[in-house]
């Protein structure tokens, strides 16, 4: 979860400004970029316990150590809660998960270099202070009570509000990790096709990246438990957004949806003001109970958009949100998967053709099924997700090849899909690989995961 948005404070005078805000994301194809975000669990190398904020092996020590590489600290009160450098940042999730929000980059080669550089920096500091990091989609060992909360005001507001809306909101906050990619659109029509195609195909990404089969040291019955917890987190702000597939879908319709999502907070003078459950529409009319008489700015709107969590989210770009966190090669594979599908017209058309006739019920059934059966889930046409994923990877590979983005050795971007192609060829997801180890070489213990799956 990102920190508060920043920018010029422009008061909102009507809904048209919010539509224009979304439209302002439209860019010519040559300006399309790739922004990758990934989260990871920190743990004490000696005790395998989660990292507190303070202490010699804590999150604060990690953030202070990373500053040697040129990162600049951001504070909330006396606590450093993020680092920034150029166009990207390192921030904290509620339970201390460390997130890199990457720079907007032109190629996947640059993206993978960014990932590799960040993880090398994290390892250098972590080795010095006795800390490791784990690439999974859900905390494999720790209970909620054992998981610390980071000192950020918005997290206390969310912690209080989440249990009123669903059973698993706190699990989402404190015990999950994901990898996401932010991608651009060229026009409203381009946004619509990309939104619909990527939303329909999020379950394929969930299956390919399924990597969260354990809870509190035992198998939890799911291959993507992270995906499961999103099914009962907060129905107001999650899900598969059926309205995106309606004939009249537009920037304006997404704005109307976002306006109806209850607020969490308003950020003023370095502090988060709790307005949880209150209406942004009332805020625009100056009738927000938490701030009577005050009206919002576009910065407030930008902040509000960060509190909406569907499987695909629109701000001034589209954010792919269906995948579990994982090892570093998969951190490169996720943006490759979506760039190949969405940034080449031929690939986008081919992918849309595969899903355009699915019904709302079929899309939802697929999304629910991959939680437990991943690649073996049946698709609307009676095949398996494994079969569908093979077709989608072929389309994505063709899209990457057509981009002709070469590295210094003359290689294009298609090799970033290799990890996913192996998953389809074997039919074994990362979660199933771990379960086999748990039932075999690990002898029913979860502790080896902290060695075998650490960065």
What's the rounded Cα separation, in Å, for the pair 224 and 216?
A: 15
pLDDT at 1: 56
* pLDDT-derived band at 229, boundaries 50, 70, 90: very high
Q: Is the pLDDT of residue 3 over 90?
A: no
Question: What pLDDT is attached to residue 9?
Answer: 80
Q: What dihedral angle (degrees, nearest 10) is formed by the CA atoms of 89, 92, 96, 100? A: -30
Which residues contact residue 370 at a Cβ distance below 8 angstroms, ignoring those fewer than 6 apart? 203, 204, 206, 207, 210, 223, 224, 227, 377, 385
Q: According to the model, what pLDDT value does residue 270 have?
A: 87
In whole angstroms, give the CA distance from residue 140 to residue 41: 10
Checking if the pLDDT of 58 tops 60, the result is: yes
The confidence band for 202, taking pLDDT boundaries of 50, 70 and 90, is very high
Tell how far CA 370 is from the center of its chain. 18
Q: What is the pLDDT of residues 236-273, one digit of tens each?
A: 999 999 999 999 999 999 999 999 999 999 999 889 99
For residue 392 the two structure tokens come to: 């989608």
Q: What CA–CA distances, in Å, run from 360 to 138, 243, 367, 372?
A: 28, 9, 11, 20
Tokens of 270: 């370095």
Residues in the chain, overall count: 455
> What per-residue confidence (pLDDT) applies to 2?
54
pLDDT surpassing 60 at residue 133: yes
Nearest alpha-carbon partner for 394 in 422, 370, 417, 375 = 417
- Contact criterion met (CB below 8 Å) for 340 and 293: no
Q: Among 8-22, 121-135, 300-314, 342-356, which stretch is predicted with the lowest mean pLDDT?
A: 8-22
Alpha-carbon distance of 17 to 300, in angstroms, equals 13
């Amino acid at each position: 979860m990102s920190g508060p948005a920043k920018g010029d404070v422009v008061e909102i005078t009507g809904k048209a400004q919010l539509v224009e805000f979304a439209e302002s994301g439209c860019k010519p194809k040559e300006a399309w970029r790739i922004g990758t975000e990934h989260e990871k669990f920190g743990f004490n190398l000696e005790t395998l316990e989660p990292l507190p904020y303070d202490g010699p092996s804590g999150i604060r020590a990690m953030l202070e150590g990373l500053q040697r590489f040129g990162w600049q600290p951001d504070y909330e009160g006396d606590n450093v809660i993020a680092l920034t450098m150029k166009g990207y940042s390192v921030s904290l999730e509620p339970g201390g998960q460390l997130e890199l929000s990457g720079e907007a980059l032109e190629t996947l080669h640059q993206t993978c270099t960014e990932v590799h550089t960040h993880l090398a920096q994290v390892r250098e500091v972590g080795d010095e202070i006795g800390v490791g990091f784990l690439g999974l989609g859900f905390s494999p060992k720790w209970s909620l009570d054992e998981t610390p909360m980071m000192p950020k005001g918005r997290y206390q507001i969310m912690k209080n509000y989440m249990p009123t809306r669903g059973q698993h909101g706190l699990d989402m906050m404190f015990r999950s990790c994901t990898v996401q990619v932010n991608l651009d659109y060229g026009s409203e029509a381009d946004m619509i096709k990309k939104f619909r195609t990527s939303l329909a195909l999020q379950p394929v990404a969930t299956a390919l990246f399924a990597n969260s089969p354990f809870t509190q040291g035992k198998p939890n019955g799911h291959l993507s438990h992270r995906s499961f917890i999103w099914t009962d987190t907060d129905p107001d702000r999650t899900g598969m957004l059926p309205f995106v597939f309606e004939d009249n879908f537009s920037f304006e319709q997404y704005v109307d949806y976002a306006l109806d999502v209850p607020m969490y907070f308003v950020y003023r003078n370095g502090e988060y003001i709790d307005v949880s459950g209150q209406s942004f529409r009332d805020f625009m009319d100056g009738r927000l109970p938490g701030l009577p008489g005050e009206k919002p700015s576009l910065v407030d709107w930008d902040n509000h958009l960060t509190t909406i969590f569907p499987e695909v989210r629109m701000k001034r770009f589209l954010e792919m949100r269906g995948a579990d966190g994982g090892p570093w090669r998969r951190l490169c594979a996720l943006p490759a998967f979506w760039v190949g599908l969405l940034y080449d017209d031929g690939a986008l058309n081919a992918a849309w053709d595969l899903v355009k006739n699915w019904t709302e019920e079929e899309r939802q059934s697929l999304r629910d099924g991959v939680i437990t059966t991943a690649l073996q889930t049946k698709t609307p046409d009676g095949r398996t997700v494994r079969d569908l994923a093979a077709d989608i990877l072929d389309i994505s590979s063709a899209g990457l090849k057509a981009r002709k983005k070469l590295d210094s050795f003359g290689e294009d971007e298609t090799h970033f899909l290799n990890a996913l192609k192996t998953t389809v060829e074997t039919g074994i997801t990362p979660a199933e690989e771990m379960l086999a180890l748990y039932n075999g070489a690990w002898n029913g213990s979860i502790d080896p995961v902290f060695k075998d799956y650490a960065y």
